[in-house]
Structure 1
Amino acid sequence: MLSSPHRIMFPAAGAAALLGVSGLFLGQDFITHWSPLPGLYAWHAHEMLFGFVGAAFAGYSLTAMRSWSGGGFVSPTGSLLLFALWAMSRFAAIGALGGELIFIVPTGTAFLLFLAGRLAWAALRAQAVAGGLQALFALFLAICQLAYLTGSAPSFSSVLLVALLVSVVGGRMIAAFTWNRTHLSPTAARQFRCARVLGDASAAALALAAVLVGLVSVADGPLIGVLLVICAGCEGGRLWLWHSTAVRQDGLLAMLHMAFAWLPAGMSLLAASLYFPDLLAAPDALHVLTVGAVSCAIYAVAARAVARRCGRLRPSAIDGIGYALLCLAAVLRASSADVPAVLAWGACWAVFLWRHVQALGRPLERPVFSGQASNRMDPGVADQLP
């Protein structure tokens, strides 16, 4: 279980996905009474952003660290400490450690600060840009959590930061996996260079939007809608440039591309909700990003960790079913069908949890997320793309 960070943190993410939603229905009285967060939905947003997403990001980034750090890894003791800090943050959010900020802030943010420090140390030693970016995102998540715990920032800006994480880190990873699967033609090289430019433009616009959301009211910031439209256009163009027949022939890669497609869809709907609030509520559009882009990206990446059979990555039918349920949950939640969406969501993450707990009984095979090391480029060196 402790041989790699993803083996303990991916099940933790699955558990957080189930508890963060079921708590809205099953723990209403307890959470409302004991949690230091201002209300049940504030607790839900906190747990999904910093519990669920934080666990998944830690599992991926610290496992992929081997590829860009020159062989650096997290020891079993480090993995256990990481999980313990994550669990302590969950207890702090539910009020088990008291309600005073002097206790809530350090216990709540310790997990993300530890993650940022570990990634930053490895990135400095290896002088790796990819590691530095991931450390920076972990630090920004910790800052957002600190602001959220103290009531200084809305969850809206935190969601945009997580969307930025999908765009930058997820985009580099998908580009690397896709490049591995293509025939490396001059035409493909030009397309990937153009996609990289679009990714940089989208990241800049999305980062500015996240900052503006933290400074002004969403309804009073018309520039935010324009920035979101720019992001949607850039990410849609990026996805189109990556696409090829080879993508459709690889089930795991197709899952990643479908997950990324939720990003421009969510940006477009979020922009529309700002200009036409009577037609589409902002929370529904926001859930297209969280349930769609973010959650589907987590599921698609984690599916690779349990897909290795006979030395090759081969998708499992049960993972495809779980992924389809997650996509269904995103569609249902965007259309305000809350109860069916919760049922689809719960079934999806129950499958996810079962798959990853089951995998603990098998020997760990490497590389975890990419294909055979002899002929594949790992996403940790995505900046070597043409």
Structure 2
Amino acid sequence: MHASSKPAALLQLGFRPFFLGGALYAALAIPLWIAGFFGHLGGLQPAGGWLIWHQHEMLFGFGGAIVAGFLLTAVQNWTGVPGLAGRPLALLAGIWLAARLAWLLNAPLWLLIPLDLAFFPAVAISMAISLGKVKQTRNYPIVLVLALLAVANLVALIGLQQGDYSLLRQGSQGALWLVVALMSLIGGRVIPFFTSRGLGRNTQPQPIEWLDNALLVGSIVLSLLMLSGFGLKQQLWQAPLYALLAAGHGVRLLRWHDRGLWQVPLLWSLHLAYAWLVIALLAMTCWHLGWSIGFSQATHLLAIGSMSGLILAMTARVTLGHTGRPLQPPASMSVAFLFINLAVPARVWLTSVWPQPGYWVAAICWGIAFGLFLWHYAPMLTRMRIDGRPG
């Protein structure tokens, strides 16, 4: 390919537009949500109102962008099939952006719903085509999870169309546990690999196949419970499901641990995010047992500490690797990793004793974390690889 026919840097590979767009959306959306929720934005009302917008967009908007960026990049490494780039990638990113604007600006549902519905099926089809070309059955479950994310979004959008808050909640919560399924699947592969590589170890803990499969299936089961509405009901019989998954993920975390990782920001940020998953599962166990923790608290342990913490750590590392840079993040990214973790107690506990200021403290911590990422990584994502290779 001639240099003049290459796509612009931002459209070279999926991680570029979606990591940038997802991080920018995250940095803007949380302060916007807090300001809107407390009535500081006048007449501006997104589709469904601020609470619905927040629940949907942090999963399907922010989370969806990062999931797409990571998978559309990783599938090229897995299969050797060139990843989505150029105009097709621009079209997919444009659909994602248009849907975000449609939600925020309260566009007519005849426009908003088709725009928002199109994204996950398009990502799933792109993944399926790449995997199918080399018959890589090992990664077919990822296509299943993407298809289920499309179903979860459909449930949420039906709720929006019908004004049914419970359906909106079921769709968003179902999506959260599907993201956990991806975290379990991908994290189980890359966290021990990154840890051994980052510490210069010659070996890494071998996976326990039955445990890995059980954790993936368990996360999908929890997602289906949420989609059906049963997962939103406080029921004693569900507590053992969460406790078993907490134990399984805890075993993984202990097997992956190496004392040296606490000296490496790109590693301790990954392990700490995975630890929040164990804590969130234990919190959900306690909620179903009727102990003194709320469903929202448990959910935010998962959504901020684990999902968003893992997103920040993974995007920081993946961007370095795929732009040809040494795996050494800017020094202030340690501050970003610290602040995303400080946002967890601020949102989960501080808001219960000091409500409005607590939300703002959490939002500021979150904003610092993603602001630092954008400051350092936006130039990397919008410029060609420094080693001259494509991607």
Settle same-fold status: TM greater than 0.5.
yes
Q: Distance in 2 between matches of 1:203 and 1:131?
A: 12
Deviation sequence 1:203-224 (CA, Å, 0-9, x none): 2222222222333253343232
Aligned residue type for 1:66:
Q
2:108 is paired with a residue whose SS is coil
Q: For 1:312-323, list aligned pairs within 5 A.
A: 312-323=326-337
TM-score normalized with structure 2 length: 0.84
Comparing 8-17 and 167-176, the one that deviates more:
167-176
Q: Distance in 2 between matches of 1:361 and 1:265?
A: 36
Aligned residue type for 2:136:
A
Deviation sequence 1:308-367 (CA, Å, 0-9, x none): 598531132121111111010012112133221111111111112222212245432589
| 2:251 equivalent to 1:237 | yes
| 2:370 equivalent to 1:349 | yes
| 2:109 equivalent to 1:105 | no
Aligned residues: 359
Cα distance, 1:46 vs. partner? 0.6
Aligned to 2:19: 10
Q: Distance in 2 between matches of 1:31 and 1:68?
A: 48
Kindly, what percent of the aligned residue pairs are identical?
26
TM-score normalized with structure 1 length: 0.85
Contact 2:301 2:348 in 1 (8 A): yes
Structure-2 change in CA distance of 1:288 and 1:91 (3 Å): same
Contact 1:212 1:224 in 2 (8 A): no
Match among 105, 127, 137 for residue 129 of structure 1: 137
Deviation sequence 1:50-102 (CA, Å, 0-9, x none): 010011111111111221121421122122112101011112322453134xx
| 2:186 equivalent to 1:169 | yes
Comparing 317-326 and 89-98, the one that deviates more:
89-98
Q: Distance in 1 between matches of 2:47 and 2:381?
A: 35
Structure-2 change in CA distance of 1:25 and 1:209 (3 Å): closer
Q: Which stretches in structure 1 are left out of the alignment for 5+ residues?
A: 369-386
Q: Distance in 2 between matches of 1:340 and 1:107?
A: 34
Q: For 1:287-298, list aligned pairs within 5 A.
A: 287-298=300-311
Q: Distance in 2 between matches of 1:364 and 1:2?
A: 12
Aligned residue type for 1:339:
W
| 2:268 equivalent to 1:254 | yes
Aligned to 2:163: none
Aligned residue type for 2:127:
L
Match among 49, 52, 57 for residue 59 of structure 2: 49
1:313 is paired with a residue whose SS is coil
Q: For 1:94-243, list aligned pairs within 5 A.
A: 94-100=104-110, 103-151=111-159, 152=167, 154=170, 155-181=172-198, 183-185=201-203, 188=204, 191-194=205-208, 196-215=209-228, 216=230, 218-243=232-257
Q: Distance in 2 between matches of 1:123 and 1:251?
A: 33
The CA RMSD over aligned residues, in Å, is: 2.6
Cα distance, 1:33 vs. partner? 6.5
Aligned residue type for 2:154:
L
Structure-2 change in CA distance of 1:361 and 1:241 (3 Å): same
Aligned residue type for 1:329:
A
Deviation sequence 1:241-300 (CA, Å, 0-9, x none): 1112453454312221221111111111122123235x2111011100000100011000
Aligned residue type for 2:342:
L
1:72 is paired with a residue whose SS is coil
Aligned residue type for 1:22:
P
Structure-2 change in CA distance of 1:367 and 1:342 (3 Å): farther
Aligned residue type for 1:19:
L
Cα distance, 1:127 vs. partner? 1.5
| 2:297 equivalent to 1:284 | yes
| 2:32 equivalent to 1:19 | no
